[in-house]
Structure 1
Amino acid sequence: MLFKFQKESYHMTKTHGGYSRTAPSIALALCCMAPCIALARTGAQRAAGTSPLQTVAAAEQSLHNSGIDITGYYQGTLYANVGGGLKRTNVYFSDLAFGANFDLAKLAGIPGAQIDFSIDSRFGGFPQGVNDLTGSSVGFLSGAGPDNRARLTELTFSQKLAGGAFSYVLGRTTLANYFGTSSLYCQFESSLCSNLVPFNWSADSNEPFYPIAVWAGEIEIDPTQRTYMKLGVSESNPSQYGGGGFPWNNGWSFKNATGAFVPVEFGYTTETDGSKMPGRYDAGFYYDSSNFADARYNATGGRLAFTGGSPARDGAQSVVYLQAEQVLWRAGAAKGARRLWGFAAGQFAVEGHAPVASYYQLGAVMQGTFPGRPHDTAGISAAYYVFNQRVTGSLNDVIAANGGTGHMSNTEAVFEVNYGIALEHGITLEPYIDLTLNPDQFLFDVPSPNPNIRHALAVGTRLNFGL
């Protein structure tokens, strides 16, 4: 299932050149096959109550028993900006990912060890995503950007020791995918399956987000079944956004690293001990030692929009965050019972001049929406951003320098409602509506921000195929 895959690995999460000719054909074929797969069954399969995809699931189980898990998904997204924003148009973009997890305990007799490998390929639509349609840099769309190419997204060695109480991961990966995570975020097009809105992490640090992998390591200690603490470190390397499909051409070295990204997280969870009303609560902190450029002022104190020059340097940046998720209601005692989850999160800059000064998120996800629809989902979320005054001040300077008037809002809100229709084993179709208030207009070099753009309304649907 896609939901399970993204929750557990956060990779192929968790945004092409080498597959540009074949991948669109695969995507088109999968889209055309979806209704046929859901309806076309042989008489024997009907009698046995199995479908072709359930047969695939059985094959997956056989490989799993031998120590190999094949992972992958295709995600196709139709996105249309129908009101407000910068452009009224629509776009269809695709995300195709595949890989394998190798259980070294079964394959090589190494207790608790595993090798994970994955590749992500993105194609179609606009390589930079759809943010230049709405004018919002924070309304990141899963499956879009940072460019169209195939990427190595993970090549790691991990091991669990002491009965799982101690574990570590080393290799090429995206460290942000291990911190501030929640599978509930996978429900939303305006979020991402890996962590608290990736724009926050990439703006307030130089740590790349999925699918960009750099050298990283993480350790986790679980003092009790319900508590954990983890620490990580990776290179801060924003050059990988546009240059790193695979780690050659200096990709294996630290040549372009700007510093070190160090996250820490402490958490309490009842999600793994059989609780009927599970929940998870955590608090974290991350620090980036990079010397960040100022958004508004140059090295001599002048305003960049008027006098140009090199940006001033503001030193390192650090952020704290809080997360909570809890089952609020359930129907039935079985494992597949219908459940309503609530979640909330906050993120706050504490050092430097991080672009996102504070962030607040609130939402709910229903798993099993109606009797007889145990695999359908529904979600609603609201996110509120408060930007650093130097960011909005720099936009106001650009407006004035270009002879305009007006001021940009220092806050932005994003709302989403969606419904996930389970069509077959591993196939879902998810229509959504996305409303943005006060699009910020500062990520994609808008020549002259327009303070009169106060909203953007988008609609669309997302098609998921998952192994």
Structure 2
Amino acid sequence: MSRFSRNTLSLLVAASLAAPAFAASSATQGGLPDGVDLTLDLVGNVASNPVGGVEQGTEGSYWVMAQSKLDLDTLWGIHNTEVDAQWAWFAGRNLAREKIGNSISAQQTWRPVAGGRLTRLTLRHRFDNGLSIIAGRAPVNSYFNSSALNCVFMSNAMCLTPYGAITDLGITAYPNASWAGIVRYDVNERWYAQAGAFDYNNELNKAGKNGLDFSVGEGTGTITAYEVGYQTSFANDRLPRTYRLGMYRNSDGGKSSYYDADGNSAALTGRPTAVQDGARAGGYAMADQTVWRGEGKRNLALFARAYVNTGNEAPIDTFFSAGFVKTGTFAGREQDTLAMFVSNTHFSDEQIDFLRDRRTRNGGSGAPHADEIIAELSYGWAVHKGIRVMPNLQYVINPDPIYAPTRTTDIPGALIVGLRVDIHFAQLFGW
């Protein structure tokens, strides 16, 4: 086990054992005024690949997230208005990148840029006719193409956002935020439609920015997102369901997956890939359907996800996933979950050709598979209110070699043994 992984496990255990002390130091939270909602979460992931990949090993990563919501109506009489501020700290290493060589992380807590970051700062106003407006700093995937079922897993193929759109369109995804405006109309308690516009400035995602660069007009494009949906809950439906259809567009055309500026193979020439004109675009669909319900909220839900690239050439053509979440498992375990998904990421011809040429340049031959299949089986153990432990098994068939640049043969399929620990301090201490 790597030094970082040992440190990560120590941190997770220490955080759990130190809970009573933390509660004592946070006793004032119990006296929060009405209209103030505070959240503090610690999520840690440890993953090991005893089989497959470029080499075997163990890596760990974690984040700490703090969020405050201020209801300005309750606090100061500003009708139907709230402020939402969120900050997060990230650390750790990525097993998929460091040991397996592929681009789809098995750890949803890992991010390319470590350290602290302001992830959201928004003002929301709800009108009395079902219309609401959000303005400020926000990531696209906190509002579009999201579902609570996505993060019953640890793999980044599902959590936080189904794979594909972030890679293809460069959408600002948690923890990165940009200037944003979102308009939503709730037709009734079930039907809604929303649209958003987000500044695209990839420089803001780099180290040292920390989400605090509030510059205006320096982006290279604008991301627009649209979604319509139908959703119910246990409050108004015996078998709750959620269906969403949406699309994204980024006016920044991105870069070719294959060609350099002269139209040659960038992998063979060693030159950067060419900037593309036009726009990046993609569509998505998701469905969550409860198919069985027992006592209380014991239930079985099925889900499916789909993403299709519809704009400029991009690394991924399509992504599909499907699975189930069983809430309430054994006797007396009403809050535990048993969940599984299987996904298929289909890479574009240009991306596969690039990887083929790069392999050839390093003395190999042939091309990697265009379809990367990932499966995860997880068990969410509700240890205590506010503490959940999630052991999981993942298997990657045809790992892509995007982060194994000198690889000359296919990467063997990888078995991943994972552990995720979530500590929600607000629930733990009853804030």
| Length-normalised TM-score, structure 2 | 0.90
In structure 1, distance between residues paired with 2:313 and 2:407: 21
Are 1:67 and 1:102, in contact at CA under 8 Å, matched by a contact in 2? yes
Residue type of the alignment partner of 2:167: A
Q: State how 1:148-159 maps to structure 2 within 5 Å.
A: 148-159=114-125
Quick one: which of 108, 119, 134 aligns to 1:169?
134
Q: CA shift at 1:281, angstroms?
A: 0.7
Is residue 2:280 matched to residue 1:321?
no
Q: Secondary structure at the match of 1:87?
A: coil
In structure 2, distance between residues paired with 1:27 and 1:109: 46
Is residue 2:182 matched to residue 1:218?
yes
- Equivalent residue, structure 2, for 1:144: 110
Q: State how 1:41-440 maps to structure 2 within 5 Å.
A: 63=32, 66-123=34-91, 125-126=92-93, 130-162=96-128, 165-191=130-156, 193-197=159-163, 200-243=164-207, 245-248=209-212, 251-254=213-216, 256-271=218-233, 274-315=236-277, 316-332=279-295, 334=296, 337-440=297-400
Describe the shift of the 1:30–1:453 C-alpha distance in structure 2 as closer, same or farther (beyond 3 A).
closer
Q: Secondary structure at the match of 1:88?
A: coil
Q: CA shift at 1:179, angstroms?
A: 0.5
Describe the shift of the 1:57–1:182 C-alpha distance in structure 2 as closer, same or farther (beyond 3 A).
farther
Q: Secondary structure at the match of 1:170?
A: strand
Q: 1:38-87: per-residue Cα shift (whole Å, max 9, x none)? A: xx9xxxxxxxxxxx97x999986753x61100112001211111111122
RMSD: 2.6
Are 1:175 and 1:217, in contact at CA under 8 Å, matched by a contact in 2? no
Are 2:57 and 2:95, in contact at CA under 8 Å, matched by a contact in 1? no
Are 2:89 and 2:115, in contact at CA under 8 Å, matched by a contact in 1? yes
What residue ranges of structure 2 are gaps of 5+ in the alignment?
Answer: 1-5, 427-431
Residue type of the alignment partner of 1:169: I
Q: Percent same amino acid among aligned pairs?
A: 27
Is residue 2:428 matched to residue 1:460?
no
Q: CA shift at 1:371, angstroms?
A: 2.5
Q: CA shift at 1:449, angstroms?
A: 3.2
Q: CA shift at 1:26, angstroms?
A: 11
Are 2:223 and 2:251, in contact at CA under 8 Å, matched by a contact in 1? yes
Q: 1:267-293: per-residue Cα shift (whole Å, max 9, x none)? A: 111227510101011110100110211
Are 2:343 and 2:375, in contact at CA under 8 Å, matched by a contact in 1? yes
In structure 2, distance between residues paired with 1:397 and 1:29: 43
In structure 2, distance between residues paired with 1:299 and 1:401: 19
- Equivalent residue, structure 2, for 1:8: none
